[in-house]
Amino acid sequence: MLTLYSSLHKDHAPEYEFYRGERVPCFESPSRAMIIQNELKKSGHRVISSTSDSRHVLSQIHTARYLAFMESAWSRWLANDSSNATVQPFPSVWPVRSLRSDIEPENFIAQLGLYSMDNGSPLVEGTWAAAKAGADAAASAADLIAKGESSVFCATRPPGHHAGADFMGGYCFLNNAAVAAQTLLNNHYSRVAILDIDYHHGNGTQSIFYDRSDVLFISIHGDPQTEYPFYLGHSDEVGEGKGEGFNLNLPLSAGTSTDKWFEALEDACLRIGRFQADALVVSLGLDTFISDPISKFSLVGEDFKRVGARLKRIGLPTILVLEGGYATKELGVNTVNVLDAFEMD
């Protein structure tokens, strides 16, 4: 399968994050994409660089204020104190409920809280370049589909499906799946389905398209009653306004069996068929793997071949965008299992 990859992802390499209150090495690390790239090349997949600039479509997905902050965040951080060059900034206050979010504070940490849903997306100097490269890959994939490619994989990081129109979160800064879908629409595809199979609900993608009928969003994920992102992803979230009926959440309990997971995948695929989509975007999370350190489903390596085969039977031009997956040792093989089965079926 044709794959888009950018070495700029390596510029986003934070040293640590906070997990369950502890300072730990980042689960979302440059090794993820590098391992996948190596495995793709070994398996004969063609890996190329992006060909499109996503800046125009980013303005259709994210607010101007958020994009301006993201692009300038590191320089704003350094402007406070030059010694900040060796410090990872984290938000410590958020504008929840009765607090105002319409005015951007002058204080950088307050700005960071304004544009963050959590403290799980550490910034470094190269974060914007890496995130923008991922968005460029998503836009490029859609342009390649419009030119006749049947399927394209974006082997990029950081991931994107937790990023909303005006906030970052869950390792995500720019929403690559949304960029891919919107670029397809800009290329005269009238109806696009997004299928998110990451362990964690794609809250950002849902919120971006929640009131629209031209994009069907479906997510199979850990039940938000107990699993991140907690505050979105319930089955009663079906869309609103013109988007009512175009959002489907299939939450599953932590520890759900593989058979039950594939039943949910079948339900999702059948719903995509009824939607009569012109193209498909897959938020390809590989953190459904049984050994993933921060997830609780039980798929094994061979199951990812079954995933790829079922996605292929949907019968649509397809963009697959890398999201989560933190069992790095097996990540490359699991990814290739999906892609090879997609091509072979």
Say what the pTM is. 0.98
- 31-87 pLDDT, tens digit per residue, is 999 999 999 999 999 999 999 999 999 999 999 999 999 999 999 999 999 999 999
Q: CB under 8 Å to 118, separation ≥6 — which residues?
A: 169, 170, 229
Reply yes or no on whether the pLDDT at 345 is more than 70: no
Write down the pLDDT at residue 107.
97
E-assigned strands of the chain?
2-4, 16-19, 22-25, 47-48, 151-154, 192-196, 215-222, 247-252, 279-284, 318-322
- 286-325 pLDDT, tens digit per residue, is 999 999 999 999 999 999 999 999 999 999 999 999 999 9
- 256-281 pLDDT, tens digit per residue, is 999 999 999 999 999 999 999 999 99
Q: Tell me if 124 sits within 8 A of 310, measured CB to CB.
A: no
**Rounded Cα gap, residues 282 and 197, in angstroms:** 7
**Rounded Cα gap, residues 329 and 138, in angstroms:** 25
Write down the pLDDT at residue 176.
99
Q: Active-site positions? A: 162
Please give the share of the chain, as a percent, with pLDDT higher than 70. 100
Please give the average per-residue pLDDT across 212-220, as a whole number.
99
User: What is the average pLDDT value for the chain, to the nearest integer?
Assistant: 97
Write down the pLDDT at residue 132.
98
CB atoms within 10 A of CB 302: 10
- 120-152 pLDDT, tens digit per residue, is 899 999 999 999 999 999 999 999 999 999 999
- 222-232 pLDDT, tens digit per residue, is 999 999 999 99
Of 249, 241, 16, 278, residue with least CA distance to 121: 16
DSSP state of 117: S
Write down the pLDDT at residue 20.
84
Please give the average per-residue pLDDT across 191-197, as a whole number.
99
Write down the pLDDT at residue 21.
86
User: Which domains does the chain show, CATH number per domain?
Assistant: 2-64+129-344 (3.40.800.20)
Query: What SS3 state is found at 18?
Result: strand
DSSP state of 99: S
Please give the share of the chain, as a percent, with pLDDT higher than 90. 98
Please give the average per-residue pLDDT across 154-165, as a whole number.
98
